[in-house]
């Protein structure tokens, strides 16, 4: 009976590791090809890992909450077939290779055991950082107090090595002052009157909480608001939505029309299509639009429409519907949420007239779409002004005042409004 190594597959260019959240199969279970074996989580998306072959699960190499690198073997599946990747027995390894193999195993065990030692922390630390912390005798409180320079404030290898060097030199490293409660074992929350229900945040909510606070602490948020007359868009959609769905097999919502206008405005104002890395500005070549979507548990996620400026309205509608549907079904892949350069969120879905959204780091702007309402408005004509009923909405633009001044931030959202108000009611789709 051959053995097959189930490895953590590549999940996108920027995804290097994942955390095991649940084993769906146990040792001895039969597994069919393409059947899900375990669930994993990256910093953005939860996913299932299917088997590439039919067989019996014989070994599980990692536990729940362990962090696994892309390409690492996570389980062994025994199979009757000949297509399995053979697992070399220790007796078959050349003598000169045994020492090297033992060293690799020892390092792997050290990393796995260290992951467990720091599992009580709400912060994310890479296996390398935790391994260094263990070797240098750094406590959890000290590790949590280090100001990380990595993405989302993560502690990098350079950060912890600098901390170690400064500590050995009796020089205080740049750390934040932890509260007394962080230095003690966290006590379980207790209900004072016995009538309240206390529920711990799930993993995704903890991540979202961390992202939001990191963004507020990073960017100087400023907002601009503008009201837009979308009567022509409303009438055009009412006229064409049934024919569109019949021809394309897709529902026609307002979202792709708005996303199309945003992509055009980003081409006109590339200063909004940037990101910030320390004291450097990165001008993005591609326009990749993030769109806030709901997950099955009610949390929000931001899948990305790649090269949005290259899509026509039909292509945009297909992309919006595909990402939205897969988000609702919990079938987004890690790469679906990577590479965004600007984000749009539709607060009008919940009835909000406008909102003040938080920037999706490391981007510098986010646009909130308010609810479309019928309102009385002044209509100008050559014969004079009169009052009529129009379909209007608010656009709320949050932008990073560190690198985006009011002139750019205001001009950008005005350009989006101009494109929407100039929508051709006779347009073909």
Catalytic residues: 401, 405
DSSP codes joined into one string, 58-119: EEE-S-TT-EEETT-EEEEEEESSS-SPPPPPGGGS-HHHHHHHHHHHHHHHHHHHHHHHTT
Both tokens of 291, joined, read 């769109």
Task: Return d(Cα 225, Cα 356) in angstroms, integer.
Answer: 9
Using alpha carbons, list the distances in angstroms from residue 284 to 19, 183, 221, 266, 319: 30, 42, 21, 11, 21
Backbone angles phi, psi at 137, to 5 degrees: 70, 30
Cα 74 from chain centroid? 24
SS3 225: strand
Closest CA to 76 of 51, 99, 44, 101: 51
Element at 36 (helix H, strand E)? strand 36-41
Cα 357 from chain centroid? 16
Say if residues 98 and 32 touch (Cβ distance below 8 Å).
Answer: no
- HEC profile for 347-410? HHHHCCCCCCCCCCCCECEEEEECCCEEEEEEEEECCEEEEEEEEEEEEEEEEECCCCCHHHHH
Q: Count of alpha carbons within 13 Å of 98, Cβ hemisphere only? A: 8
Say if residues 163 and 146 touch (Cβ distance below 8 Å).
Answer: yes
Element at 268 (helix H, strand E)? helix 255-268
Closest CA to 182 of 120, 248, 267, 97: 120
In 136-201, which residue ranges form alpha helices assigned H by DSSP? 140-145, 157-168, 180-183
């Amino acid at each position: 009976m051959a053995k097959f190594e189930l490895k953590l597959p590549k999940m996108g260019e920027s995804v290097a590791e994942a955390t095991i959240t649940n084993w769906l199969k146990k040792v001895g279970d039969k597994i069919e090809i393409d059947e899900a074996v375990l669930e994993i989580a990256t910093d953005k998306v939860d996913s299932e890992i299917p088997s590439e072959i039919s067989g019996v699960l014989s070994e599980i190499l990692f536990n729940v909450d362990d962090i696994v690198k892309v390409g690492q073997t996570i389980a062994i599946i025994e199979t009757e077939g000949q297509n399995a990747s053979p697992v070399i027995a220790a007796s078959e390894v050349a003598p000169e290779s045994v020492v090297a193999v033992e060293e690799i195993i020892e390092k792997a065990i050290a990393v796995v055991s260290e992951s467990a030692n720091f599992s009580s922390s709400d912060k994310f630390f890479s296996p390398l950082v935790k391994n260094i912390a263990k070797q240098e005798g750094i406590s959890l409180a000290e590790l949590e107090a280090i100001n990380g320079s990595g993405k989302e404030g993560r502690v990098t290898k350079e950060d912890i090595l600098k901390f170690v060097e400064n500590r050995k030199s009796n020089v205080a490293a740049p750390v934040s002052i932890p509260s007394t409660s962080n230095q003690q074992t966290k006590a379980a929350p207790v209900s004072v009157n016995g009538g309240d229900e206390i529920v711990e945040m799930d993993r995704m909510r903890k991540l979202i909480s961390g992202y939001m606070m990191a963004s507020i602490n990073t960017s100087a948020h400023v907002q601009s608001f503008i009201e837009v007359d979308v009567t022509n868009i409303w009438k055009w959609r009412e006229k064409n939505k049934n024919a569109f769905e019949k021809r394309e097999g897709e529902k026609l919502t307002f979202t792709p029309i708005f996303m199309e206008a945003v992509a055009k405005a980003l081409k006109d104002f590339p200063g909004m299509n940037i990101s910030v890395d320390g004291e450097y500005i990165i001008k993005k070549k591609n326009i990749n639009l993030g769109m806030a979507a709901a997950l099955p548990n009610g949390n929000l996620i931001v899948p990305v429409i790649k090269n949005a400026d290259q899509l026509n309205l039909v292509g945009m509608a297909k992309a919006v519907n595909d990402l939205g549907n897969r988000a609702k079904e919990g079938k987004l892949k890690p790469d679906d949420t990577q590479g965004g350069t600007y984000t749009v969120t539709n607060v009008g879905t919940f009835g909000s007239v406008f909102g003040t959204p938080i920037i999706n780091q490391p981007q510098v702007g986010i646009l909130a779409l308010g609810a479309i309402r019928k309102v009385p408005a002044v209509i100008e004509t050559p014969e004079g002004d009169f009052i009529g009923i129009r379909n209007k909405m608010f656009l709320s633009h949050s932008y990073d005042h560190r690198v985006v001044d009011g002139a750019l931030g205001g001009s950008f959202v005005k350009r989006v409004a101009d494109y929407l108000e100039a929508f051709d009611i006779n347009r073909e789709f």
